[in-house]
Amino acid sequence: MPCPGKLKGEIADSPPPKSPIIPLMNKPVHVVGAGLAGSECAYQLARRGIPVVLYEMRPVKSTPAHSSAKFAELVCSNSLRSDDPFHAAGLLKREMEAFGSLIIGAARRAAVPAGSALAVDRELFADEITETLRRHPDIEIRQEEVTEIPQGETVLATGPLTSEALSQQLLELLGSDHLYFFDAIAPIVEAESLDLTRIFAGSRYGKGEGDDYLNIPLDRDQYLAFHEALVNAEVVQPKEFEDVKFFEGCLPVEEIARRGVDTLRFGPMKPVGLTPPDGSRPYAVAQLRQEDLARSHYNFVGFQSRLKWGEQKRIFGALPGLENARFVRLGQIHRNTFINAPIHLDAFYRVKEKPSLRLAGQITGVEGYLESAATGLAIALYATLERGGRPPAAMPATTAFGAMTRHLVESNPKRFQPANINYGLFEPLGRRIKKRERRAAYVERAHEALCLWAADQGLKTEKPLKTPTETAAAAQP
């Protein structure tokens, strides 16, 4: 439903309730880290009149995963997950757009065909965000490594690759060691080096434009040979990666293969919904997703890997049509750090031990580009309300924003693990409903709840929240 009420400005004109919070609109917020969460947070604060000092250590000091000094550089996949309005990820995108999200806006303008997903040209995406932040008059950019948490109001958005110095600072502050898991990156290949006579274009079940993906069909013998090569290949296993724990949503392809001979065929290599031009039925399919608007590069879908680089070239290069493939980037593994959020964070992303410090992005225990950016946006809204003298109410757990927070602050701390947005994080519907109607029910309820929350807090929504039903109706002639 469209959000009710006519709201002027970012904070409504009605007198704010009494609050112990002293308005400090002219004091800067220090945002450490210009990844997705930090970039979104800095932009949202600045456009609401709050000055920001944005710190980014690259290129002074790089990380194992980044390759440039651009802000919001995407290092793993180029996909921000499903854009289906009934999907939890699609719902979160629309909630973010309601408040003028920098990340989602830039992603839509840099979008490349990806079926029902929102995938981007990494270079165009990062370029727009970098330029937008650099030219904003209320954002001061300092490209330097931060080794101590700044004094005053601070948002730590250093991501999963937080530097050793800041990690030690958090360790001393929180009094307990960080949790962590390992993440892997998928290879990228040059389009011109592919043999397209052995590869067919098409999206699963015909979603999207029909040629959003390149598909490599394998028969049974080819698949079994590929599987055997994967499980017997050499992996990178330096000392710091002993006792490796992987995030289940981003397992290396060789780890998936080790779980059973058919696991890949029911995972990233599932053939269902993909039919070659000759009408045959592949035993398995490896997919390549468009990496840039020029269609010059493609990345391997679900093929994150920690294999040694020579092994990747040998095994992936043996797939049909990739015999002469030129790899722009090969897969690698890196450590992701996150805190035990249920112990240390409140519902406004404040660190309980130091309320002037907020954490944003994957270091909180959310997983994914989309979710990281959303935490930065939520923090900016809460900080804006506080600066204006309004003690905010937390976004309800019936919304995608609130469901993420619910996971962070209400999960069992003994079993806390990162999570992508999904309907299992939401407050239950509380009534029996047919399975095929549940997603629509979650979406309808979320839109209404977020509209009411925004109106109650005096926040303007820039893009009306509409349910998928209303959107479809509006599109009818």
The predicted structure's pLDDT at residue 162: 75
Containing domain of residue 52, as a range? 29-178+339-470
- Residues 410-436: tens digit of each pLDDT: 998 887 878 889 998 999 998 888 888
DSSP letter at 366 equals B
What CATH number is given to the structural domain containing 327?
A: 2.40.30.260
- Residues 266-325: tens digit of each pLDDT: 999 999 999 999 999 999 999 999 887 778 889 999 898 888 989 999 999 999 999 999
In angstroms, the Cα distances linking 348 to 254, 316, 357, 371, 393 are: 39, 45, 11, 15, 9
Instruction: Indicate the pTM of the whole model.
Output: 0.76
Q: How many CB atoms lie within 10 A of CB 70?
A: 21
pLDDT exceeds 50 at position 5: no
Cα–Cα dist 143/113, whole Å = 34
Residue 348 CB contacts under 8 Å (≥ 6 apart), including other chains = 358, 379, 382, 392, 394
Burial class (CB in 10 A: 0-12, 13-18, 19+), 346: middle
Residue 258 lies in a domain: yes
Tokens at 124, concatenated: 């165009």
- Do 304 and 437 reside in the same domain of the chain? no
Cα–Cα dist 11/210, whole Å = 44
What CATH number is given to the structural domain containing 418?
A: 3.50.50.60
Residue 147 lies in a domain: yes
- Of 292, 307, 335, the position where a domain reaches its end is 335
* Alpha-helix residue ranges (DSSP H) falling in 76-121: 88-97, 102-109
> If you search the block for the tokens 């130091």, which residue do you land on?
354
- Do 56 and 108 reside in the same domain of the chain? yes
Strand order, beta sheet including 213-218 = 200-201, 213-218, 284-290, 297-300, 188-190, 327-329
Percentage of the chain beyond pLDDT 90 is 60
- Do 350 and 244 reside in the same domain of the chain? no
- Do 189 and 331 reside in the same domain of the chain? yes
- Of 317, 335, 353, the position where a domain reaches its end is 335
CB 252 within 8 A of CB 187: no
Domain tally, the chain:
2
The predicted structure's pLDDT at residue 20: 37
Chain CA centroid to CA 234, Å: 30
Residue with the bigger pLDDT between 406 and 248: it is: 406
- Do 372 and 270 reside in the same domain of the chain? no
Residue 424 CB contacts under 8 Å (≥ 6 apart), including other chains = none
pLDDT exceeds 70 at position 243: no
Long-range (24+ apart) CB contacts under 8 A made by 21-24 are: 21/386, 21/387, 21/389, 21/390, 21/391, 22/389, 23/387, 23/388, 23/389, 24/153, 24/387
Residue 133 lies in a domain: yes
- Do 214 and 319 reside in the same domain of the chain? yes
Cα–Cα dist 226/220, whole Å = 10
- Do 318 and 345 reside in the same domain of the chain? no
Where residue 242 falls among pLDDT bands split at 50, 70, 90? Answer: very low
- Residues 426-475: tens digit of each pLDDT: 999 988 888 889 999 999 999 999 999 999 999 988 877 766 666 555 54
The predicted structure's pLDDT at residue 474: 52
Residue 170 lies in a domain: yes
Residue 404 lies in a domain: yes
Where residue 68 falls among pLDDT bands split at 50, 70, 90? Answer: low
Once rounded to an integer, what is the mean pLDDT over residues 162-183?
A: 77
Chain CA centroid to CA 148, Å: 27
The predicted structure's pLDDT at residue 220: 96
- Do 373 and 456 reside in the same domain of the chain? yes
- Do 203 and 329 reside in the same domain of the chain? yes
pLDDT exceeds 80 at position 334: no
- Do 139 and 189 reside in the same domain of the chain? no
Tokens at 187, concatenated: 């290879």
pLDDT exceeds 50 at position 19: no
- Do 97 and 222 reside in the same domain of the chain? no
Residue 16 lies in a domain: no
Cα–Cα dist 174/167, whole Å = 10
Cα–Cα dist 455/462, whole Å = 12
Residue type for position 47: R
- Do 193 and 331 reside in the same domain of the chain? yes
Residue 286 lies in a domain: yes
* Alpha-helix residue ranges (DSSP H) falling in 213-351: 220-232, 253-257, 309-316, 341-344
The predicted structure's pLDDT at residue 246: 65
The predicted structure's pLDDT at residue 341: 93
- Of 292, 308, 335, the position where a domain reaches its end is 335
